[in-house]
Each structure stands twice: as C-alpha cells, then as structure tokens.
Amino acid sequence: MTPPAQASDFTRALDALCTIRLGGPMTDCTRLSGGASQESYRFVCGNDLFVLRRPPGGVPKNTSSNALSMTDEARALAHVYEAGVAVPEVVHICAPEDGLGLGYIMRFIEGQTIARKILRDDEFSDTRPQLAAQCGTMLARLHGLESDQMEGLPSSDAKGELDKYTEILRAHGHPHPVFELAIRWLADNVPPSQARCLVHGDFRMGNLMVTPESGVVAILDWELAHIGDPMEDLGWPCVPSWRFGQHQNPVGGFGQREDFYAAYEAAGGTIDRAAVRFWEILGTLKWGIMCTMMATAFTSGADRTVERAAIGRRASETEIDLLRMLEGLD
C-alpha cells in the first residue's frame, strides 16, 4: 500500500532519511493496519525491516491528555530497551529537518498482535499457557527499572485517576448509576501509596507482540507510559473487556491470575492483591466511561465512524462487568 496524500513528498523524505541515517535507500514502504491513534509504516532499508511510527500526517493531535509526545515516547522506549526489556529498538527520532513531522523509527519485530488469533488459532495453542508467566516476568523487570532517569513522563496515582474519571463522567451529564456505584466503592477502597515506578499504562492483549515459537517477544505502544503504581499494570490486563470473550482466563483471555502473580514475584516484584483488585475495577470503570464518550461522539455527529459506534455500544457490557466484580463474582 502506498502512503496516503502527498505520497511523493513522504516517500522522498523517508528515502532521504534512510540514505543519511540508516545507510541505504528505502524500498517497499507499506502502511500497517491497526493503531487507534498513531500511524505506522513498515519499510526496507538495506537488508533490514524498520517501522516509522508517527501521529497522522506527522502532526500531533490532543487526543489524550495522558499521551506522551512522540519524542518522549521514543526516549522511554529507548530507555527500557537498553535495560533489557523486550521492546523494539529505536534507531532514530525524527527531527524537523527530516520532513516527516513528529515520529520515530524502530526496528521491525515479526509477530502477531491480533487478540482473536492469539487466543483462538491452533498455531498458538502451545504458547498460550506460557503467556501469563511471561507477562508477569516482563512486568517485574519493567517495574524494577530506575524511574528517576526517566525525564518528561507524567505521574499519576490511584486517587488522581479516580478523581479524573469521576469528573469526566459527571461532566458528561447523563446518569450512569452503575458507574456511580463503582465510584463509591473505589473511593472507599483507594489503596495506600505504593512504590513509584515506570508503568506501561496500557499493558494488555493488542499491545503484546506474540509468536507461536517464543510467546511474547515485545511490548508495544508506550504512549501512555508514566510514573505510577506498579499494580496498575497488573490490574489492566485483567479487565474483562481485554479477555476478548475468554472469560475463563482472567489474565488477558490467556491465563490465570496466580500464574501471573507467581511469575511477577519470582522475578522480584511485590504484589498487593487488594491494590490490584482496585486497579481492575478502576480499569473497568475507565473503559466504560471511554466507551460512553465514544457513543456520544457518534450520536452527536462529532465522529460518525463505525469504530466509534462499535466501541460505544460496549459501555453496557462494562456495567455488567462492574456489577459482577462488585459482587465478587469475577
């Protein structure tokens, strides 16, 4: 697939950058599917595959106050790569003179990110039982990094996140009794301050690169990385919506909590199970509020894409999930 509008300017700029920075001309540029907020292009330079990741057109949009700038995201990715965490290697951060807008280039990693394939296809049947332990080990390694070396990252905590999404919901102006019930429970169960560390912020199926041979080979999409409670990263992949229908496996649709926790602890992490539970319920509430916002964007005419409608209708699913969680049934 050829890059969209102004393809000639885009390809010329990328080819020039490859020649100067990567040692050869660019060939076979293809836009990759997926990516809710950023666009990615895979291309060949020499004998190697690379990916350019950037906001649409290389121009940033204020889609999330939590999202890192592309430069800060690239720096975070480079930091964790150097520390031995399984992530793509960043080889170049785009500068204005490159003519590509904001973005960065990383080495391409082969694998699968589509949840339904990883969770259902026979070729992944042997590796699925290993994924929970792999994820626990990876997160413990990530959370053990020195976060004081990370510049430009925002900071958040449990109460701050709860207050933020409570404000978003109430500004919406429509009654959501189940969400309000969850807010009340969360307000009564805010965990005490935890150790602060680098948190991925969106650690779940869809942001994990998986192969049938090796399991998880890379953690992707670091735009929500921040300094926060490590238990947030353990709670988020257990949110029911991220199980993709495989509810018998509460961790990402592929594993059990105890395997996940045991691997995290074996790799040096410390788990506060009550705090993880708080983050699971808060994560479910957050996703429900996000779905509600997308539904409103569609019905108001602000964004009439099918994606907004399809995701927006899932708000009711999160209400059922929250009731089950608050009753101790999940």
Go through the chain and tell me how many residues it has: 330
The predicted pLDDT at position 246 comes to 96
Delimit the CATH 3.90.1200.10 region(s) of the chain: 115-326
Say if residue 50's pLDDT is above 80. yes
pLDDT digits (tens, 9 = 90+) for 228-239: 999 999 999 999
Phi and psi of 60, rounded to 5°? -70, 145
- Taking residues 236-260, what's their average pLDDT? 97
pLDDT digits (tens, 9 = 90+) for 91-115: 999 999 999 999 999 999 999 999 9
d(CA 6, CA 52): 16
pLDDT digits (tens, 9 = 90+) for 149-206: 777 799 999 999 999 999 999 998 889 999 999 999 999 999 987 789 999 999 999 9
Question: 3-class DSSP state for residue 5?
Answer: coil
Question: What topology does CATH give the domain 115-326?
Answer: Aminoglycoside 3'-phosphotransferase; Chain: A, domain 2 (3.90.1200)
d(CA 38, CA 26): 21
Delimit the CATH 3.30.200.20 region(s) of the chain: 7-107
The predicted pLDDT at position 152 comes to 75
d(CA 150, CA 228): 12
pLDDT digits (tens, 9 = 90+) for 264-278: 999 999 999 999 999
- Taking residues 15-40, what's their average pLDDT? 88
Strand order in the sheet with 90-93: 26-31, 39-45, 48-54, 104-107, 90-93
Say if residue 35's pLDDT is above 70. no
The predicted pLDDT at position 2 comes to 42
What pTM was estimated for this model as a whole? 0.92
d(CA 133, CA 230): 17
Q: What is the DSSP letter of 191?
A: P
Nearest alpha-carbon partner for 32 in 151, 114, 118, 119: 114
Alpha helix ranges (H) inside the chain: 7-17, 70-82, 115-120, 128-143, 158-172, 177-188, 231-235, 257-266, 273-299, 306-312, 315-326
Nearest alpha-carbon partner for 96 in 77, 75, 76, 71: 71
Dihedral sign computed on CA atoms, order 299, 325, 210, 136: positive
pLDDT band at 3 (very low <50, low <70, confident <90, very high): very low
CATH 3.30.200.20 fits 7-107, yes or no: yes
Say if residue 7's pLDDT is above 60. no
Query: Above pLDDT 90, what percent of the chain?
Result: 84
Nearest alpha-carbon partner for 88 in 113, 68, 66, 124: 113
The predicted pLDDT at position 36 comes to 63
The helix or strand, by DSSP H or E, that contains position 27, with its residue range, turns out to be strand 26-31
The predicted pLDDT at position 5 comes to 46
The predicted pLDDT at position 194 comes to 74
> Range with the lowest mean pLDDT among 56-60, 135-139, 220-224, 272-276?
56-60
The predicted pLDDT at position 1 comes to 40
